[in-house]
Amino acid sequence: MIKCTMTIQDVSAATMYDVIHDGPYRSTWDSTMIESYDIARLSANADFGYYAWACPSPLKNRDVVTLRSWQVTDEDYLIVNFSVKHPKYPPRNGLVRAISILTGYLIKPTGPNSCSFTYLSQADPKGSLPKWVVNKASQILAPKVMKSVHKAGQDYPKWKAENVPDEKPWLFPVQNNLPMMDPLELSLQRADSLENVDESSTVENGENGENVDSS
């Protein structure tokens, strides 16, 4: 499990919340994203979607299919997701289907233009990777992701002003054009039901943490 908390002094909680939700904007700042799209909605504050991302060579790229829900209160903004499966979205060739056991964002206002931003993720990347590789990658990548998200928050108001500024379906459900889906079509994705792709041979000297290509 990874937990990172960042104090942001120059972006409001509402803006950071919009950044996490805004799919078209993500393609401008998430350099690891291969493909991402929302598939269907289950309610006014829950949807089902797909995300694939690039992993450092020589590891295989990953993807997830998740159920996401969100809530806004007077005190905070919350977004959480976990992996699900659907017969129309099975694991794809060339990608390792990873598991989000629980991933989420908690954003708390600390002022009119500042906030506390917390990212929590408990995930199984699948593949036969040594635990030290997973842990080291998490320790390196998580802070980089947080910095990227902060920069995305700083740049978002200008971008959004130029890209359908009034369209925010995560705040205004009437704007959501996704088809409705029966939750019974989904089931919990369990890690033990997915194939473990053996990637251990791509990492040498695992016990010492040497010779890992992180380019």
Encode pLDDT of 65-75 as tens digits: 999 999 999 99
Q: For residues 102 and 72, give the distance between their C-alpha atoms in angstroms, rounded to a whole number.
A: 19
The 3-state DSSP class for residue 91 equals coil
Predicted model pTM: 0.85
- Pairwise pLDDT comparison (124 vs 203), residue with the higher score: 124
Q: What is the mean pLDDT of residues 105-133?
A: 86
Q: Is the pLDDT of residue 209 over 80?
A: no
Going from the C-alpha of 74 to that of each of 14, 20, 34, 108, 211, the distances in angstroms are: 11, 19, 35, 9, 49
Encode pLDDT of 26-69 as tens digits: 999 999 999 999 999 999 999 999 999 998 777 789 999 999 99
Helix locations, the chain, DSSP H: 13-21, 23-29, 131-161
Least confident of 24-38, 157-171, 183-197: 183-197
pLDDT at 57: 74
Which pLDDT band holds residue 205 (cuts at 50, 70, 90)? very low
Which pLDDT band holds residue 124 (cuts at 50, 70, 90)? confident
Which pLDDT band holds residue 194 (cuts at 50, 70, 90)? confident
The letter for the amino acid at 13 is A
pLDDT at 177: 95
Closest CA relative to residue 86, chosen from 60, 53, 64, 61: 64
Q: What is the mean pLDDT of residues 113-135?
A: 80
Q: What is the mean pLDDT of residues 15-23?
A: 97
Percent of the chain with pLDDT over 90: 69
| Inter-residue contact 200 to 128 (CB < 8 Å) | yes
Q: Is the pLDDT of residue 182 over 60?
A: yes
Average pLDDT along the chain: 87
Encode pLDDT of 72-110 as tens digits: 999 999 999 999 999 999 999 999 999 999 999 999 999
